[in-house]
Structure 1
């Protein structure tokens, strides 16, 4: 079948070629993120991929020393976003400078769905795969160079063409050469039979194993009564699958699960479900956060863009180059009084997290965020949606209005004068299931006195 009724969906990453800490630490982070995962929403950069069947972004395999890729169940890479804006699959530099270990087999036996394979010294057969049968867009980039010499296919590796061998009557994929061997029109990556439940992956949406053009809509037409009625079997579009409920950290907009409401709508909560509704007059002011290449931190050059903001769409980063200034970019230090602009912010929504790694020495708390009620954390940084690190002036948090952290954990570390952080009932704030608080190397509780 194309899928199961309750496929395990996991978020991808946007890390590119960057890594986090030691190889052991990197492996543990990857294991926690992808263990048991079947569909990756975004990009996958991981050796822990044995169960993954679908990636909506790109797959990047780089700078690893293992011999085989554990991607045997991967059937489709959708390429909704591409590595270097060109590649849905990129395999780079998978061998050490010394020694004879390195990638020897791709193991993509089920992948029928540009490609870049460069500098894999021991990879022999992978670059010679007939990629034209796999790639949907005939004009997509295929870059294969500086790999091992052409050799025999690995053990038990076979080839099944599903596109270039099809009869003219087949508009998409096929499972044989006969005109009767066409896949269903909703199949994206080959099939084992003609039905919509025989697809290896779905072109549009997976509805409990059946590939469909759209998920069951909220309203259906009653031909006898000539009116629209509520559909009791309605489902929401969540990436490429149909779900009966959107994840708690997403918002319902019509029949879809979205990370951000459109400009003419605002986010409200109805019966425990966040929804996008049309604004009554002007919408609350939504402002872009930081983290982009041209806007890496809050600093004196962009602080005024946060005037009267009620929601931050994206991350908020407070880094040393923003607080103390950046001589290289001719950006002066940030006036601490300017941070009072954030007193109007009630939500950090959309994507990512609140990341405070530098703070004015005049301020001993984070009370400029005294109105902040919610941190969504729809995409995370190393699993965390709130990080407060290495702020020697910090004596208390001052986040007195914070009521919800929708997803992700909390990391509060190396704040030598910080007290009372352990008196916060963090469990009451969390909405996710696999979250925790990391309080490390802050001021000992015995030295703080009574809260």
Structure 2
């Protein structure tokens, strides 16, 4: 007999309501285009069934249309292997990593963009990247130690939150404002957000005149990546120069080489014949952030 558990209100002290804001995608999914979930901290069945469900759902996925929720990995008798997450490059909704007390690291090594088309609302703020409750009983020696995300370049919408992760290292070295497109106050470090007892980043990960510093682990291959940008305050997002006429197009992600939707480094949503679009035009269907002609 399957049991069902829904966890919501107890997650944050003083939270009276948690609201998921979702924009439903009407994409045609193929093998590496996968649908996300909207269960938050809930799960169905046993903990072993839940883990196998996550593995089956995301094995081989590169693009998640919806939310990526990695939760309830708390059984010390299960040998959790999260390598099935390593091919994911794009998440259109939010990323939630919580109640993962029996996991040493989360290998989202290919993740480049979290779009934030849907967000996790907590006390009036919209979050698109949340890491919380990752250690048993607040133990600083047991629990999630690292997020391996060296490819992460952008969180397009929403804020970032860390709470009750006493063993988690390196997230305080990351330039979250740069990843969040220059938005101020983009990250909330709440109660015990990370460990104070961590090794230093590799010397290869030091900040330079043009590059941000920081790391996701001690190894050089886990240096944080990102260009420093000095944009005119009239630019709402990214830019390719300091002048007011050097703003990136609103459909660009990561950066751009010019002002049009054809000059983007990457697209927030979809690429149609070299142009970034918020949706695919008639006669096409979306697949892996591309508009494919029928």
* Aligned counterpart, 2:117: 80
* Deviation for aligned residue 1:8: 2.0
C-alpha distance in 2, partners of 1:168/1:150? 38
The 3-state SS of whatever aligns with 1:84 is strand
C-alpha distance in 1, partners of 2:32/2:288? 13
Q: Do 2:177 and 2:185's aligned partners in 1 also have CA atoms closer than 8 Å?
A: no
* Deviation for aligned residue 1:201: 3.5
The 3-state SS of whatever aligns with 1:88 is strand
Give the count of matched residue pairs.
Answer: 219
Specify which structure has the bigger relative contact order, considering alpha-carbon pairs within 8 angstroms and separated by 6 or more residues.
Answer: 2
Q: Please say if 1:158 is aligned against 2:198.
A: no
* Deviation for aligned residue 1:120: 1.0
* Deviation for aligned residue 1:68: 1.6
Q: Give the counterpart of 2:166 among 101, 115, 121.
A: 121
Going from structure 1 to structure 2, the CA distance change for 1:239 and 1:37 (only over 3 Å counts) comes to closer
The 3-state SS of whatever aligns with 2:164 is strand
Over the residues paired in the alignment, what is the CA RMSD in angstroms? 3.5
* Aligned counterpart, 1:213: 277
Q: Do 1:7 and 1:39's aligned partners in 2 also have CA atoms closer than 8 Å?
A: no
* Deviation for aligned residue 1:24: 2.2
Task: Give unpaired runs (5+ residues) of structure 2.
Answer: 1-29, 71-81, 202-216
Q: Give the counterpart of 1:63 among 80, 99, 105.
A: 99
C-alpha distance in 2, partners of 1:215/1:79? 15
* Deviation for aligned residue 1:105: 1.6
Q: Do 1:117 and 1:127's aligned partners in 2 also have CA atoms closer than 8 Å?
A: no
* Aligned counterpart, 2:195: 148
Aligned positions of 1:32-431 closer than 5 A:
32-46=56-70, 47=82, 48-64=84-100, 65-84=102-121, 86-97=126-137, 100-113=141-154, 114-136=159-181, 138=183, 141-145=186-190, 146=192, 147-149=194-196, 151=198, 152-153=200-201, 154=217, 155-156=219-220, 157-162=222-227, 164-166=228-230, 168=232, 172-173=237-238, 185=249, 186-190=251-255, 201-207=266-272, 210-213=274-277, 217-218=281-282, 234-236=283-285, 240-244=289-293
Q: Do 1:76 and 1:201's aligned partners in 2 also have CA atoms closer than 8 Å?
A: no
C-alpha distance in 2, partners of 1:12/1:92? 19
Task: Select the structure of larger CA radius of gyration.
Answer: 1
Going from structure 1 to structure 2, the CA distance change for 1:216 and 1:31 (only over 3 Å counts) comes to closer
The alignment's TM-score, normalised by the length of structure 2, stands at 0.62
Q: Do 1:75 and 1:201's aligned partners in 2 also have CA atoms closer than 8 Å?
A: no
* Deviation for aligned residue 1:130: 1.4
Per-residue CA distance 1:119-154 (angstroms, 9 max, x = gap): 111112113321111113725652113021064232
The 3-state SS of whatever aligns with 1:45 is strand
C-alpha distance in 1, partners of 2:43/2:278? 38
